[in-house]
DNA sequence: GTTGAAACCGCCCTCTGCTGGATGATT
DNA sequence: AAATCATCCAGCAGAGGGCGGTTTCAAC
């Protein structure tokens, strides 16, 4: 039923359009980039945030407003006598608010709503501008000296007859303003209860007299100096984007969807209030007053209140009454007193009279200022916990803290058994059920459930100086502080029951020390024979060795039943005596050519041999292409043999390169070191190499 | 009736630390 | 090849700070 059109506010560059908005529905005008305003300016609620966004967006973040089609907010709307308002204003000449506009500069125009009684429109300003709108509303525009001085007044009068504002004033802060590039926000227009003929409008999406503003926040999901700010995704499509109070707090008005409801609610409340008021009067009549001695004590029937004076009781009874005659023009909320209404309206307009002397903060109420000063400046914390040293600025914080002592969890999840100690934790918990990940990394678009998690991610993944946490005990560097905690617990915590090293008798109360100690066993011959001084690195070597003490010979030749302690010895035996195809390696003396079955014997001979030959080694068995042994293996085997210190005249080595085949290996004289020349391969070495 | 202070409720944020799955290195 | 282990990493809850806004109440 309602139609909407969008305008980019930045495109609204004419004073007429601005004033039309004022006339039509009354708007807040906001935003100032110019920090050189004469005094801390009053900010419309959310204006700062919105402006920050716009600034961060570098012009990209559009703020647009939505207005009714054919409304009097049309920039081309005509004023009296068909003359455009802008024209009238210019001719009126009184509103010299726009000196040379500075390109790209924005100014804040404050707005305040006040009640005006009859006759209070006699404004004292020097420059007044009287405007009669199409709808007959009389406006007085004044350039005032005081911040709070009304500038625009929509008078009671003709407008009231037409269900238009009964009294709205707008004040503009002193200073130089341009209406170029203004950004316009909304105000609701109070529609008093004379709306019988517009009753049906109440059920509409948009209440009458409302100007809706669409805030394009699609660019809100911006990282700001490394920080990513993210609004919860809108699940209900773009329509709600138009006016969601939650999302767009910048709009000091309720969400579009809520608007009609709240409007209706308000009417209901008003009607109910009347009834309740009479109820209250009844109860007041019934209020008891009892004598106590000479003095009368008046008791409230509805609560424990007592007073010696009837007037006090009467006053008190109003606290039980729902009578709230003071209605906010902006959101239609009602209040008992003018003060309450004023404070409330200040929250709309951002008027913050209470300024902190120690910082730039300003507040609507003195209580907020006092609390702020306690938090930030005096650090006074009057609420002390009786169970610990905790103290807080606010009682509610102490109350919340007490729950950490009592374990009380009043807030239950309706989807699982979780219960939290405060509302926020429950709300945060509910995200785990929805699967929502509201926070997105501005670098890699990874999504996270909590802002803190994302912050850590950005710090660890996308920061230049990635902080690392060094363990004070072992100098290990760990990426996350929490993981350092895990490290400390796992490796450096004190173990009440000492752990024994599996290789020796050493005891350790710290896991890290045990691990370090075990490493010292790594290259030692930790397998020791208990019957002799024999020691080796591998347990199976010890098993073979122990057979020398037990006499056990588990390997039996199938041909001659001869027994051997080692399988390799059996193999050598078999080939030598039972395999006719076997051709043993012969080591020839390089000087005289005499052959030996063992290199050591040949070498011993050659040292005393006077003849000279060119070739040192003869491969009797075709070993072409068989020399695949890697250097490492060769070294390992030799070293192992050296380590073992037991040299045997065995010339067979089974390597992984040769599969199961036993291949004779000859170390040439030329390449051998003196140590290698003395090295002989043991069965242990064979076993070891088979492992490898 | 008005006013200011205090009390109160609520929301959102950060910092913190634990948890368990994934992963790569070592045994 | 499998087991073990330390670290990486995101998920998630505990605790507390700070502020927005309203209500209550006594004094004026
Ligand atoms: Zn301050
Ligand atoms: Zn405590
Ligand atoms: Zn749950
Ligand atoms: Zn990222
Ligand atoms: Zn040990």
The H or E element that residue A678 is part of is helix A674-678
Strand ranges (E), A101-236: 128-132, 138-142, 150-154, 168-171, 183-186, 223-224, 227-228
Cα A318 to Cα A276: distance, rounded to the nearest angstrom: 11
Ligand nearest to the Cα of A356, by number: 1
Question: CA A492 → C1' C14, Å?
Answer: 25
Quick one: which of A336, A171, A333 has its CA closest to A253? A333
Q: Which H, E and C letters describe A280-315, residue by residue?
A: HHHHHHHCCEEEECCEEEEECCCCCCEECCHHHHHH
Phi, psi (degrees; rounded to nearest 5) at A634: -60, -45
Higher pLDDT, A327 or A109: A327
Residue nearest to nucleotide B10 (CA to C1'): A423
Query: What is the model's pLDDT at position A429?
Result: 92
Q: Which residue has the higher pLDDT, A528 or A401?
A: A401
Q: What is the pLDDT of residue A692?
A: 31
> Shortest CA–C1' contact from A522: which nucleotide?
B27
Å from CA of A628 to ligand 1 middle: 81
Residues with CB under 5 A from ligand 4 (ion): A 441, 443-444, 446, 461
Nearest of A232, A228, A233 to residue A445 by alpha carbon: A228
Distance A429 CA to C17 C1' (A): 20
Which residues, by CB, come closer than 7 Å to strand B? A 227, 229, 246, 315, 318, 337-340, 342, 365-367, 370-371, 394-396, 399, 422-424, 427, 450-453, 455-456, 481-483, 485-486, 519, 522
Token readout for A261 is 């409801």
Task: Tell me what the mean pLDDT of segment A179-196 comes to.
Answer: 35
Residue nearest C8 (alpha carbon to C1'): A479
Give the pLDDT band of residue A401 (cuts 50, 70, 90). very high
- Per-residue pLDDT for A242 more than 70? no
A503 vs A7: which has the higher pLDDT: A503
Residue A106 (CA) to nucleotide C18 (C1'), in angstroms, measures 30
Determine the 3-state secondary structure of A665 from DSSP: coil
∠A642-A647-A651 over CA atoms, to 5°?
Answer: 105
Q: What is the pLDDT of residue A535?
A: 66
Provide mean pLDDT across the span A110-122. Answer: 34
Under the banding of pLDDT at 50, 70 and 90, the label for residue A398 is: very high
More confident position, A190 or A608? A608
Angle separating helix axes A256-286 and A310-320, nearest 10 degrees: 150
Report pLDDT digits (tens) over A573-593.
676 667 766 555 556 676 677
Query: Which nucleotides of strand C lie within 7 A of protein CB?
Result: 6-27
Rounded to whole angstroms, the distance from the CA of residue A540 to the C1' of nucleotide B20 is: 39
| A652-683 residue pLDDT tens | 233 323 333 222 222 232 233 333 333 334 44
* Beta carbons within 8 Å of A592's beta carbon, 6+ residues apart: A609, A610, A611, A613
C-alpha A488 – ligand 4 centre gap (Å): 28
Name the average pLDDT for chain A.
Answer: 53
Task: Flag the least confident range among A155-159, A394-398, A685-689.
Answer: A155-159
Q: Ligand 3: distance of its center to the CA of A458 in Å?
A: 28
Confidence class for position A599, pLDDT limits 50, 70, 90: low
Q: Higher-confidence residue: A334 or A254?
A: A334
| Nearest nucleotide from residue A311 CA, by C1' atom | B1
A634 pLDDT above the threshold of 90: no
Query: Average pLDDT in the A421-428 region?
Result: 91
- Please say if the pLDDT value at position A553 is more than 50: yes
pLDDT at site A505:
76
Q: Which residue has the tokens 């996308």?
A: A462
Residues A316-333, mean pLDDT to the nearest whole number:
64
Give the number of whichever ligand sits closest to the CA of residue A519: 5
Residue A481 predicted with pLDDT over 60: yes
More confident position, A458 or A114: A458
pLDDT(A104) > 60: no
Highest mean pLDDT among A186-190, A615-619, A671-675: A186-190
Confidence band of A397 (pLDDT split at 50, 70, 90): very high
Query: How high is the pLDDT of residue A463?
Result: 80
Query: What pLDDT is stored for residue A497 in this prediction?
Result: 79
Which nucleotide is closest, CA of A515 to its C1'? C5
pLDDT surpasses 80 at A340: no
Ligand nearest the Cα atom of residue A386:
2
Count CB atoms within 10 A of the CB of residue A352: 21
In this predicted structure, what is the pLDDT of residue A52?
Answer: 31
Q: Is the pLDDT of residue A344 over 60?
A: yes
The four Cα atoms A315, A318, A323, A329 give a dihedral, to 10 degrees, of: 60
Closest CA to A46 of A365, A349, A343, A254: A349
pLDDT tens, position by position, A58-82: 332 322 222 333 332 333 333 333 3
A10-54 pLDDT per residue, tens: 333 333 333 333 333 333 333 333 333 333 333 322 232 233 333
Residue predicted with more confidence, A603 or A172? A603
Most confident of the ranges A153-162, A353-362, A514-523: A353-362
Query: Which nucleotide is nearest to A454 if distance is taken from CA to C1'?
Result: C10
Position A75 scores a pLDDT of 35
The reported pLDDT for the residue numbered A615 is: 33
pLDDT over threshold 90, residue A426: yes
- How much is the pLDDT for A517? 78
User: Of the ligands numbered here, which is closest to the C-alpha atom of A369?
Assistant: 1
- CA nearest to A599, candidates A613, A612, A575, A618: A618
Question: Of A532, A529, A507, whose CA–CA distance to A517 is shortest?
Answer: A507
Number of H helices, E strands in chain A: 20, 35
Report, as an integer, the average pLDDT of A479-492. Answer: 82
CB within 5 A of ion ligand 5: which residues? A 501, 503-504, 506
The gap between A6 CA and C4 C1' (Å) is 64
A20 C-alpha to center of ligand 1: Å? 39
pLDDT band at A343; cut points 50, 70, 90: confident
Tell me the mean pLDDT in the region A485-494.
82
d(CA A418, CA A72): 54
Q: What is the percentage of chain A residues whose pLDDT exceeds 90?
A: 3
């Amino acid at each position: 039923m309602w139609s909407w059109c969008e305008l980019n506010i930045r495109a609204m560059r004419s004073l007429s359009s601005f004033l039309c908005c004022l006339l039509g529905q009354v708007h807040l005008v906001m935003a100032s980039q110019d920090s050189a305003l004469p005094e801390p300016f009053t900010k419309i609620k959310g204006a700062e945030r919105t402006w920050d966004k716009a600034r961060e967006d570098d012009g990209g973040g559009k703020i647009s407003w939505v207005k009714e089609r054919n409304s009097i907010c049309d920039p081309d709307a005509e004023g009296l006598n068909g003359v455009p308002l802008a024209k009238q204003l210019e001719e009126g000449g009184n509103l010299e608010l726009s000196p040379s506009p500075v390109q790209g500069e924005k100014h804040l125009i404050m707005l305040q709503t006040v009640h005006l009684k009859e006759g209070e429109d006699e404004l004292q300003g020097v420059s007044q501008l009287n405007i009669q709108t199409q709808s007959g509303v009389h406006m007085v525009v004044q350039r005032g000296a005081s911040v709070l001085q009304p500038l625009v007044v929509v008078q009671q009068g003709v407008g009231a007859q037409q269900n238009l504002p009964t009294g709205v004033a707008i004040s503009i802060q002193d200073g130089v303003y341009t209406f170029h590039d203004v950004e316009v926000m909304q105000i609701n227009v109070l529609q008093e209860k004379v709306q019988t003929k517009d009753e049906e409008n109440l059920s509409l999406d948009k209440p009458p007299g409302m100007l809706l503003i669409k805030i394009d926040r699609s660019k809100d999901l911006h990282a700001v100096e490394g920080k990513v700010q993210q609004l919860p995704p809108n699940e209900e499509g773009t329509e709600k984007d138009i006016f969601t109070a939650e999302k767009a707090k910048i709009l000091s008005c309720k969400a579009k969807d809520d608007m009609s409801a709240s409007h209706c609610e308000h009417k209901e409340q008003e009607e109910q209030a009347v009834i309740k008021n009479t109820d209250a009067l009844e109860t007041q009549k019934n209020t008891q007053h009892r004598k106590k001695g000479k003095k009368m004590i008046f008791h409230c029937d509805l609560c424990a209140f007592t007073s010696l004076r009837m007037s006090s009781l009467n006053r008190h009874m109003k606290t039980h009454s729902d009578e709230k005659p003071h209605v906010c023009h902006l959101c239609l909320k009602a209040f008992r007193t003018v003060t309450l209404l004023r404070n409330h309206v200040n929250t709309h307009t951002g008027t913050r009279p209470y300024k902190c002397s120690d910082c730039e903060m300003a507040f609507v109420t003195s209580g907020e200022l006092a609390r702020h000063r306690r938090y930030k400046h005096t650090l006074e914390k009057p609420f002390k916990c009786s169970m610990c040293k905790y103290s807080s600025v606010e009682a509610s914080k102490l109350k919340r803290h007490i729950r950490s002592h009592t374990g009380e969890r009043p807030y239950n999840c309706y989807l699982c058994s979780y219960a939290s100690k405060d509302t926020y934790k429950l709300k945060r918990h509910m995200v785990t059920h929805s699967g929502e990940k509201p926070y997105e990394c501005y670098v890699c678009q990874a999504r996270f459930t909590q802002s803190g998690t994302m912050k850590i991610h950005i710090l660890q993944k996308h920061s230049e100086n990635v902080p690392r946490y060094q363990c004070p005990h072992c100098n290990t560097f760990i990426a996350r502080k929490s993981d350092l905690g895990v490290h400390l617990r796992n490796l450096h915590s004190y173990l009440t029951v000492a752990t024994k090293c599996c290789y020796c008798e050493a005891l350790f109360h710290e896991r890290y020390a045990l691990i370090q100690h075990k490493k010292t066993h790594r290259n030692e011959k930790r397998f020791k024979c208990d019957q002799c001084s024999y020691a080796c690195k591998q347990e199976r070597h010890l098993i073979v060795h122990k057979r020398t003490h037990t006499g056990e010979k588990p390997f039996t030749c199938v041909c001659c039943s001869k027994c051997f302690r080692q399988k390799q010895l059996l193999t050598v035996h078999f080939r030598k005596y039972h395999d006719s195809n076997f051709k043993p390696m012969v080591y020839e003396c390089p000087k005289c050519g005499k052959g030996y079955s063992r290199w050591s014997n040949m070498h011993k001979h050659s040292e005393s041999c006077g003849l000279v030959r060119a070739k040192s080694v003869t491969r009797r068995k075709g070993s072409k292409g068989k020399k695949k042994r890697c250097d490492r293996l060769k070294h390992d085997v030799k070293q192992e043999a050296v380590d073992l210190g037991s040299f045997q005249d065995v010339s067979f080595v089974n390597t992984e390169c040769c599969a199961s085949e036993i291949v004779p290996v000859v170390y040439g004289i030329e390449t051998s070191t003196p140590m290698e020349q003395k090295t002989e391969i043991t069965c242990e070495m064979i076993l070891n190499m088979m492992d490898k």
